[in-house]
Amino acid sequence: MKKGPSLFNVVSVTLGFAFLYLPIILLVIYSFNSGRNVAIWAGWSTKWYVAMVQNQQLLDAAWVTLRVGLLSATVATVLGTMAALTLVRHGRFMGRTLFSGMVYAPLVMPEVITGLSLLLLFVAINFDRGFWTVTIAHITFSLCFVAVVVQSRLVTFDRSMEEAAMDLGCPPFKTFFVITLPIILPAIIAGWMLAFTLSLDDLVIASFTTGPGATTLPMRIYSAVRLGVTPEINAVSTVLIAVVTVGVVAASLITKRQEAERQRAERLAGAAP
C-alpha cells in the first residue's frame, strides 16, 4: 500500500522550505529591482549589477576575499591532509587522543571565541593585523574541516595497494605521490572546496582578526547594510550565494561519487573470495 503525501506533510515541507529559502529568494529577486528602495518593487533591471562592478570598494573587498580564500584553503588542505594522515596512519602514539581532540575543537568552538583568541594572540605577539592575520585565522578554522573529510576517506583506504607498490620496487615516499595521493585526491579536492567556501562567507572571525586595508566582502556588506540596504548589496549577495552554492554542491557531488565508486569497487571485491 502506497499512500501519497498527506496534507500535513505537504504543509510542513512547504513551510520548512519557505522558512529556509524565502529570504534568499526575496534577496535574489530584489537584486533585480530597478528602484532605489529595497522594499518597493519597481520593475526588472540589472543596473545594480552594473553599479556593483563599478563600486571600487566592493571590488577591493571581493579581491581580498578571493585571495584570502584561495590561500587559506590551499594551506588548510595541505595541513589538514597531513593531520588526517597522522591520525589514521600512526595508530597509537603519545598524545593521539589529545591531538585528535585539538584538531577537531575548532569544529565546535563558537566562532566568536576562535576569533577573539586569535585576536589576542596576534596582539600579544605584536603581529600587524591585515591580510595575513585573516588568512592565518581562516587556515586555523578550516583546517579541521579538511581533516574530517580526508580522514573519512583514509579509514576506508586499502593499504595493501601501497604495499603492492613498494613490493614492486617503489620507495615509500614516491608511493605516497603515485598511489595514495591520486586515490584520495577527490576527498582532498572536496576538502579544499569546503575550506574555500567557509573562508568566503566568514564574517565573525574576519572581523576580529582583520586590520586596515584588508576588509573582506562579508565585512563590507555588513557595514554597508548598517547604513541601509541598497539593491547593490543584494546584487553582491546574490553573486556570493551563487559562488558558495556551486562550491558546496561540487564538494558534495565529488564526495558522493567517490563513495559510490568505492561501494561499487567493494561489491566487486566482495564477489571474489
Partner 1 sequence: MAAKASGPIKRTFTPWDDPSAKPFIQFENVTKRFGDFVAVDNLSLDIYEREFFSLLGPSGCGKTTLLRMLAGFEAPSEGRLLLEGQDISGVPPHRRPVNMMFQSYALFPHMSVEGNIAFGLKQDRMPKADIDARVAEMLRLTKLEPFAKRKPHQLSGGQRQRVALARSIAKQPKVLLLDEPLGALDRKLREETQFELMDLQQELGLTFVIVTHDQEEAMTVSDRIAVMDHGKLVQVASPAEIYEFPSSRYVADFIGDVNFMSGKVSAVTDGGVEIRDDTLSCSIAAHLENPGTKVGDDVWLAIRPEKMRISLDEPGDTATNCVSGEVWDIGYLGGVSVYHVKLANGNVVKSTVTNQTRLVERPIGWEDKVWLTWPHDAGVVLTA
Residues 225/135, Cβ–Cβ less than 8 Å? no
List CB contacts of 84: < 8 A, sequence separation 6 or more: 146, 147, 148, 150, 151, 154
If the CB atoms of residues 171 and 228 are measured against partner 1, the closer one turns out to be 171
- Whole-angstrom distance, CA of residue 101 vs CA of residue 104: 5
Using CA atoms, how far residue 145 sits from 34, 76, 91, 105, in Å, is 40, 9, 21, 10
Binding of residue 272 to partner 1 (CB under 8 A): yes
Stretch that binds partner 1, among 54-62, 130-138, 207-215, 264-272 (CB under 8 A): 264-272
How far apart CA 133 and CA 212 sit, in angstroms, is 11
Does the footprint of partner 1 cover residue 171 (CB under 8 A)?
A: yes
Return the range that interacts with partner 1 (CB under 8 A); candidates 63-71, 141-149, 175-183, 242-250: 175-183
For 21, half-sphere exposure in the C-beta direction (CA atoms, 13 angstrom radius) is: 8
Of the ranges 14-22, 44-52, 116-124, 263-271, which one interacts with partner 1 (CB under 8 A)? Answer: 263-271
Comparison of 36 and 89: residue with beta carbon closer to partner 1: 89
- Residue 98 or 269: which CB sits closer to partner 1? 269
**The one segment of 98-106, 108-116, 160-168, 240-248 that binds partner 1 by CB under 8 A:** 160-168
Q: Does 168 bind partner 1 (CB under 8 A)?
A: yes
Number of neighbours of residue 216 by Cβ within 10 angstroms: 29
Does the protein bind partner 1 through residue 265 (CB under 8 A)? yes
Q: Does 85 bind partner 1 (CB under 8 A)?
A: no
The three cell numbers locating residue 180: 595514495
Question: Rounded to the nearest whole angstrom, what is the least distance from the CB of residue 162 to partner 1 in the complex?
Answer: 9
Dmax (CA) of the chain? 72
| Entry field: residues in the chain | 273
* Strand ranges in the chain using DSSP code E only, listed in sequence order: none
Q: How far apart are CA 148 and CA 194, in angstroms?
A: 11
Which of these ranges, 101-109, 167-175, 207-215, 243-251, lies near partner 1 under the rule CB under 8 A?
Answer: 167-175
Q: What is the DSSP string of 106-136?
A: HHHS-HHHHHHHHHHHHHHTTPPPSHHHHHH
Rank residues 162 and 201 by Cβ distance to partner 1 and give the closer one.
Answer: 162
Cβ at position 17, least distance to partner 1 in Å? 38
Q: Does 167 bind partner 1 (CB under 8 A)?
A: yes
Q: Rule CB under 8 A: is residue 261 a binding residue for partner 1?
A: yes
Total of chain residues touching partner 1, rule CB under 8 A: 24
Which residues contact partner 1 (rule: CB under 8 A)? 158, 160-161, 163-172, 179, 182-183, 261, 264-265, 268-269, 271-273
